[in-house]
Structure 1
Amino acid sequence: MKPFALALATSVIALMSANGSALAQTAGGVIDVATIGEPPTLDPMASTADLVGIITQHIYETLYTFAEDWTATPLLAADMPQISEDGLTYTIPLRTGVTFHDGSEMTSADVVASLERWMRIASRGKQADAVIETVAATDDATVTITLNTPYAPLLSLLSLNNAAAIIIPEENAAQDPLEAYVGTGPYKLEARVPDQYIQLVRFDEYASRDGEPNGFGGARLQYLDEIRFVPVPDPNTRVEGAVAGQFAYVDQLPVEAFDRVSSGATEPVVLAPFGWPVFVMNTQEGLNSDIRVRKAIQAALAPEDMLLAAFGSENFFAVDGAWYPEGYVWHTETATEPYKPAGDTEAAKALLAEAGYSGQPLRILTSRQYEYHYKMAQVAQAYLEAAGFTVQMDVVEWATLTQNRANPALWDIYITHSPFLPEPSLMGIMSDTSPGWWATDAKHAAVNAFNAESDPTKRVALFEAVQQVIYDEVPAYKVGNFNALAAQSPKLEGVTVSPWPYFWNAYLTE
């Protein structure tokens, strides 16, 4: 797995890690962070959207999180779990003296109620629910999770910040949708003015872990008084805001703006490699419930042209059909033969004819808030139409997209992206209940074998079978690898480069 602090372009600002020099670390100040839009919810259990995770990770916390090397590390848990020899029982000690934003103290009852809610409503919680037999409070400071089969991804699922296993007060865990935004995090929600800002303020009773910061783990130091997340849906407006120094941090900038941002009041930050853009197929109903149609799409798409249109320069993308690139332990070329950089229009036409396609609209759901999603969709439309598809582009706000993708009647493909996740079972398509609803016997055979194996070396080999079934059944189409661009004020220090930027441990200088 790549290190937590992702590789940076040589001309990019070097960001001081929060566990580096303590010089000039002063408390106080307010920062504005420009985001790609309004989050659809502030309930991270209810959404896999990165935007939701970026904001809410400051409000809520999980039992575990990811350290600098992307291994699980305790957060609200006092220590790593004790795991029985058969791999079926996880005994988790809890930290004591942890206070919620409402003043109540966290106990095992809160943890049990929260995990039960997570298994009920979160897509990743539903993944875990299939193997979790019980979640029980052993005493006020201990929780025991009992499984019906060994399940290697459990700690990673408990660590991720979207579709997240956040711990909230027991009485709030019955809420669906969540109405009280009360967590244990270093910042608490002060105000939300839709389409204007989400204001977080320092939680003075926050109980930080001891020691040094370590990725998302370790000490979480509260230098800033306030963090305001400002929705800026138009990418050009985000660029101009970065150039003018309007924001302390600007997320998700078009990569072609690198030179323009470099000449402005903030510094460009490149995360390389960041992740993959992906076209998710609706396997449950409509055109893409037919595997032959999905295979026709797989054949028709031309990833090289799509990536070039989206990112402009090869400095910001790589044409690569492997779900994890070279340098990651999960990298394999297994089954990537159908991934054709220039596409195969004739093969797509033959597959469409075999499927008996008769011109029904192929509905592509996308957003311009991630401009590269839209540019890829435009190129995809041209290649799909050349193969014989009738294409309908549905362009909506990102918050609307995240709502509409939950309804299988509204789309055939939706476009999204993901960082390279430390555990493949965190990928959305690995959950049967994630939009796309891919659930087949072949998938279950490959994924269940992968998830049941605890030996890391054997799991790497078993992932080849997972990638094989992804290519065989086409629940999603990985376009390639890409780098991401953000911008940061030179006055903002202590930010660790991350696919999900966070601002505890960050501070302002003069």
Structure 2
Amino acid sequence: MTDSNSLSRRRFLQATGGAASAAAIAGCTGNPDDSGTDNETDTGTDTTEGGEETEVGPNYLQLINSTMTTLDPIKSTDTASGRVVQQLFDGLTNYPNGEVQATNLLASGYELSDDFTTYTFSLKEGVEYHDGTEVTAQDFIYSCERLAASSNSRRAYFILDSMGVIHETETVTQDGEEVEQYASGTLDINAPDDYTIEINLEKPFASTIPMLAYSSFAVIPEGIVGDIEGYDGEMEHSEFATSNPIGCGPFSLNRWETKTEAIVDRYDNYHGTVADLDGVRWQIIEDADAQFNYASNKNADAFAIPTAKYDPNKLTVEGTDDLGRDYGTYALDNGSTLDYTGVATINSFYIAFNQMNVDEPAVRQAVALALNQQTAVDQVFKGRGSTAYHFTPPNIYPGGANEYRSHAESEYPYGYNESNLEEARSVMEEAGYGPNNRYEVTFTTYQSPSWQQIGQILRDQLTSAHIDMTLEEAPFSTLLQRGRNGNLEMYSLGWVMDWPAPDNFLQNLVPELTITSQEGGAQGAYVDWQGTDAAERANEAWDTITSNPEPTDEAESIRNEAYVTMEEANWDDVVLLPVYHRIDQLFNYDWVDMPRFGGGGFSRMMLNNVSVGDRS
């Protein structure tokens, strides 16, 4: 068995590609449409090239998606794939309508041991997969074993390390070096009978129930894919992941044609609410302008509006519900009045610095002093977010949004909602820089007009502070690879939640995990944060967090204090500069009836509670 942090983070890296920027991992994000909602893209897709579109009936919900990579829930890390995976598969728990309070789904209930390490779940009986077979506890064990052991898994660290299910490891040789890896078949998950599941953890983990709601823990039929020891598989992985994904969700796959469309059909034997829709069709369109034109022509029933096409003056917010979700209308140029939902989802978008490449603290501080987060939100992102001063988003910050703002207003050292160029220049001059000794730095953004605009503002401002900034754009996957290898100076990324707790964000700012020279590259943010008093404080705070994992008020209080310590340590060294927390907006024509989505985002919403009426 192991609780090794290095093993944990190595698995984390393998599962997600490395990351700590909101841009790629379960949380890592960077979307060409500025919103950065996509997790890391898996570049190896098994799908075929695009083809002709499929005609579907009027009772299909019409949506837009970007390029998908897989329909295997343990391999899916990008939001585009996740939108469809969410409709095909169910797990023990779920975020209803994308809200962040997990509730039972396949589980009818559970018990927790007095030491908080054993969860005993009761399964609903009579639940059927899309192939007509029944869901059993043994299927869950098989599904978890795939998550831990399959070469197709991108989320092994979820079960082995974050949740910490008891397991054994073995020593293997990779590239001439001995490394520890999971020993297949050793997960301590048991099935006393067909409808009872017992999960044993190495130590308590307060976010177990929310984590089980993540689609990586979806249940599939035992032995359906032979990509782990002991199973030959009923089909090849490529078939399961692209054309025949058997789950027990409210919809089953009709068709997926890469670069063209994905279609799912209602599953009439669903164990929950059977959909009113006949199905859902996603048109796959990459270009943001093309997406908007497609929606404006009433080809999509519900959609986002790219920042470049969004006019805040056309939005009317009529109210805010008890979960903090804004609702109202939006006047589209085609004469339609759209229904509107705006939700402060759990995300953070930021500028990061590799401390080894931008080794002058004054430079990082000067950028923080120059940045006016309020200007970024209002002028660049057109009010579609809130200013960020912590990496932890307001809705999961210790003490809530009010405490988030209070702490930032009173303690943030670089100016709350203001730009202080005089002080930025003073900081640089105290460090020995001036008109004849200027500092050169390159700011790399993923392909986003908004982040380039922020870069242009900072570049112009910092000229007076003796900093010459060069701007460059890189494809998202290229930026990530360069980050892992330590080949970035200053860059933009974002993070969306895997589970709704501060540790899911702050795991990316554990200094010892941000070292890009370690095996596989950085396992947290690509910032090489080391050798400073603030870095040591952050490491000690993380040790406190991981030493107090119990789901109790006392342990939560200890963790909360340590979370704030990590945020303040980051303020001192400015390895990660928060910019804004995005508000997710969804617009739909009035013939669509759907619940409002929650803080987990629309991509986590199951669509069996949506209906469409007459589009004429």
Please state if 1:508 is matched with 2:612: yes
**Aligned match of 2:196:** 142
User: Retained in 2: the 8 A contact 1:117–1:173?
Assistant: no
Q: 1:51 to 1:132 in 2, by over 3 A?
A: farther
**Aligned match of 1:154:** 208
User: Retained in 2: the 8 A contact 1:119–1:128?
Assistant: no
Equivalent residue for 2:275, pick from 207, 222, 227: 222
User: Retained in 1: the 8 A contact 2:93–2:104?
Assistant: yes
**Aligned match of 1:29:** 59
Distance of 2:62 and 2:502 partners within structure 1:
33
Please state if 1:113 is matched with 2:142: yes
**Aligned match of 1:436:** 525
Please state if 1:319 is matched with 2:394: no
User: Retained in 2: the 8 A contact 1:117–1:174?
Assistant: no
**Aligned match of 1:207:** 271
AA at the equivalent of 2:565: Q
User: Retained in 1: the 8 A contact 2:451–2:492?
Assistant: no
TM-score, normalized by length of structure 2? Answer: 0.64
AA at the equivalent of 1:157: M
User: Retained in 2: the 8 A contact 1:124–1:426?
Assistant: no
Shift, 1:115, TM fit = 2.0
Give CA-to-partner distance per residue, 1:221-257, whole Å, 9 cap, x none.
3111121122333333333333332211113542833
Q: 1:401 to 1:304 in 2, by over 3 A?
A: farther
AA at the equivalent of 1:117: R
1:236 counterpart SS class: helix
1:478 counterpart SS class: strand
Equivalent residue for 1:237, pick from 274, 290, 309: 290
Shift, 1:435, TM fit = 5.3
AA at the equivalent of 2:342: L
Distance of 1:45 and 1:443 partners within structure 2:
31
Equivalent residue for 1:191, pick from 235, 255, 278: 255
User: Retained in 2: the 8 A contact 1:242–1:487?
Assistant: no
**Aligned match of 2:7:** none
User: Retained in 2: the 8 A contact 1:251–1:485?
Assistant: yes
Q: 1:457 to 1:441 in 2, by over 3 A?
A: closer
Shift, 1:365, TM fit = 3.9
User: Retained in 2: the 8 A contact 1:296–1:351?
Assistant: no
User: Retained in 2: the 8 A contact 1:348–1:387?
Assistant: no
User: Retained in 1: the 8 A contact 2:331–2:338?
Assistant: yes
Equivalent residue for 2:378, pick from 301, 305, 308: 308
**Aligned match of 1:337:** 412
Distance of 1:171 and 1:444 partners within structure 2:
39
**Aligned match of 1:211:** none
Question: Which stretches in structure 1 are left out of the alignment for 5+ residues?
Answer: 1-26, 209-219
Please state if 1:262 is matched with 2:331: yes
Question: Which stretches in structure 2 are left out of the alignment for 5+ residues?
Answer: 1-56, 168-187, 229-235, 316-329, 514-521, 530-537
User: Retained in 2: the 8 A contact 1:62–1:166?
Assistant: yes
1:479 counterpart SS class: strand
Shift, 1:392, TM fit = 4.5
AA at the equivalent of 2:585: L
AA at the equivalent of 2:505: M
Q: 1:437 to 1:188 in 2, by over 3 A?
A: farther
Shift, 1:203, TM fit = 2.3
Greater C-alpha radius of gyration: 2
User: Retained in 2: the 8 A contact 1:366–1:377?
Assistant: no
**Aligned match of 1:57:** 86
Distance of 1:117 and 1:291 partners within structure 2:
44
User: Retained in 2: the 8 A contact 1:274–1:420?
Assistant: no
Shift, 1:268, TM fit = 4.3
Aligned residues: 459
User: Retained in 1: the 8 A contact 2:64–2:285?
Assistant: yes
AA at the equivalent of 2:349: V
Shift, 1:374, TM fit = 5.0
2:189 counterpart SS class: strand
Q: 1:505 to 1:342 in 2, by over 3 A?
A: same
Give CA-to-partner distance per residue, 1:426-446, whole Å, 9 cap, x none.
437459686526897335324
**Aligned match of 2:107:** 77
Distance of 1:309 and 1:204 partners within structure 2:
48
Q: 1:383 to 1:235 in 2, by over 3 A?
A: farther
Identity, % of aligned positions: 18
Distance of 2:461 and 2:160 partners within structure 1:
36
Distance of 1:402 and 1:110 partners within structure 2:
38
User: Retained in 2: the 8 A contact 1:428–1:434?
Assistant: no
Please state if 1:394 is matched with 2:473: yes
Give CA-to-partner distance per residue, 1:317-343, whole Å, 9 cap, x none.
333424343897434344751353335
2:223 counterpart SS class: helix
Give CA-to-partner distance per residue, 1:117-158, whole Å, 9 cap, x none.
334531544542546452233332222111121111111111
1:426-465 residue pairs with structure 2 within 5 A?
Answer: 426-427=504-505, 429=507, 436=525, 441-449=539-547, 452-456=549-553, 459-460=556-557, 462-465=559-562
Shift, 1:198, TM fit = 1.3
Distance of 2:367 and 2:299 partners within structure 1:
42
User: Retained in 1: the 8 A contact 2:350–2:579?
Assistant: yes
Distance of 2:430 and 2:80 partners within structure 1:
37
Distance of 1:95 and 1:482 partners within structure 2:
37
Distance of 2:462 and 2:89 partners within structure 1:
43
Give CA-to-partner distance per residue, 1:404-446, whole Å, 9 cap, x none.
4884456553422537964333437459686526897335324
AA at the equivalent of 1:128: S
Distance of 2:348 and 2:295 partners within structure 1:
24
Please state if 1:489 is matched with 2:567: no
**Aligned match of 1:246:** 299
**Aligned match of 1:167:** 219
Distance of 2:224 and 2:431 partners within structure 1:
50
User: Retained in 2: the 8 A contact 1:60–1:166?
Assistant: yes
1:171 counterpart SS class: coil
**Aligned match of 1:468:** 565
Distance of 1:364 and 1:195 partners within structure 2:
27
1:349-360 residue pairs with structure 2 within 5 A?
Answer: 349=428
User: Retained in 2: the 8 A contact 1:306–1:375?
Assistant: no
User: Retained in 2: the 8 A contact 1:300–1:347?
Assistant: no
User: Retained in 2: the 8 A contact 1:305–1:379?
Assistant: no
For the aligned residue pairs, the C-alpha RMSD in angstroms reads: 4.0
**Aligned match of 1:14:** none
Shift, 1:67, TM fit = 4.5
Q: 1:464 to 1:94 in 2, by over 3 A?
A: same
